[in-house]
């Protein structure tokens, strides 16, 4: 049957498109809100699951993160998912989700972690005046933008960059790096190896 991958999306689905275009076998696409990513899944013939935050308190302080995370984990496990790749997924998941997929939740972030964590990483890089930033693929943990780093790609900051231009170049790097890392992770799991073993394979990327 092979390793079953779920990609979690919240927006345009461009990273999902890159994964599919580069031959990554996606078994399920999950979303926390109606979004174009679900359309991308449908066009690719991949099962789509919408577990809408609206049923759990939406985006208000009353959002039930614990119940949402537990229900999402249950839905993925029911479908035999082995590994999860977050691709612009906008909900921070509670420990119950990570416990269900220990060391098997991946994320891509638009900075060279541990620098510039959080939702405004590109703006923070520009404000800091750095000459280069980039993207990081890492194992996600309960702590935001933390966890073991699997691979990084550097992107130069141009003198006339604004947030939009710089972010587009970072996204281009992500669309190359993330599929390569996910492919290696799935191969490692298929061979019975741990995700952490992939770190040693990443230098050539």
Contact 29, 9 (CB under 8 A): yes
Q: Which of 1, 29, 3, 41 is nearest to 183 (CA)?
A: 3
**Interacting residues of 3 by C-beta distance below 8 A, sequence separation 6+:** 82, 83, 186, 189, 190
CA distance 59 to 157: 33
- Catalytic residue check, 120: no
Strands 47-50 and 28-31: parallel
Q: 5 phi and psi, to 5 degrees?
A: -105, 135
Concatenated DSSP letters of 95-152: HHHHHHSTT-EEEEESSSTTSS-STTHHHHHHHHT-SEEEEEEEE--SSTT-S-EEEE
Contact 24, 183 (CB under 8 A): yes
User: Strand 132-139's sheet: what is its strand order?
Assistant: 47-50, 28-31, 5-9, 83-87, 105-109, 132-139, 149-156
Catalytic residue among 98, 109, 138, 167: 109
Active site members: 109
């Amino acid at each position: 049957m092979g390793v079953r991958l779920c990609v979690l999306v919240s927006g345009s689905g461009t990273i999902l498109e890159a994964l599919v275009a580069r031959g990554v076998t996606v078994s399920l696409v999950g979303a926390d809100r109606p979004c174009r990513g679900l359309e991308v899944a449908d066009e690719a013939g991949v099962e789509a699951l919408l577990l809408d935050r609206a049923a759990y308190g939406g985006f208000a302080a009353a959002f039930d993160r614990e119940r949402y995370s537990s229900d999402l984990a249950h839905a993925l496990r029911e479908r035999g998912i082995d590994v999860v790749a977050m691709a612009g997924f906008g909900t921070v998941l509670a420990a119950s989700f990570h416990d269900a997929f220990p060391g098997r939740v991946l994320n891509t972030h638009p900075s060279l972690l541990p620098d510039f964590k959080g939702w405004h990483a590109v703006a923070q890089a520009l404000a800091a005046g750095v000459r280069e930033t980039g993207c990081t693929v890492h194992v996600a943990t309960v702590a935001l933008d933390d966890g073991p780093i699997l691979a990084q790609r550097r992107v130069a900051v141009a003198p006339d960059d604004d947030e939009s231009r710089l972010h587009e170049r970072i996204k281009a790097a992500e669309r190359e790096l993330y599929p390569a890392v996910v492919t290696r992770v799935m191969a490692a799991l298929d061979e019975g190896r741990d995700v952490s073993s992939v770190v040693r394979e990443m230098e050539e990327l």
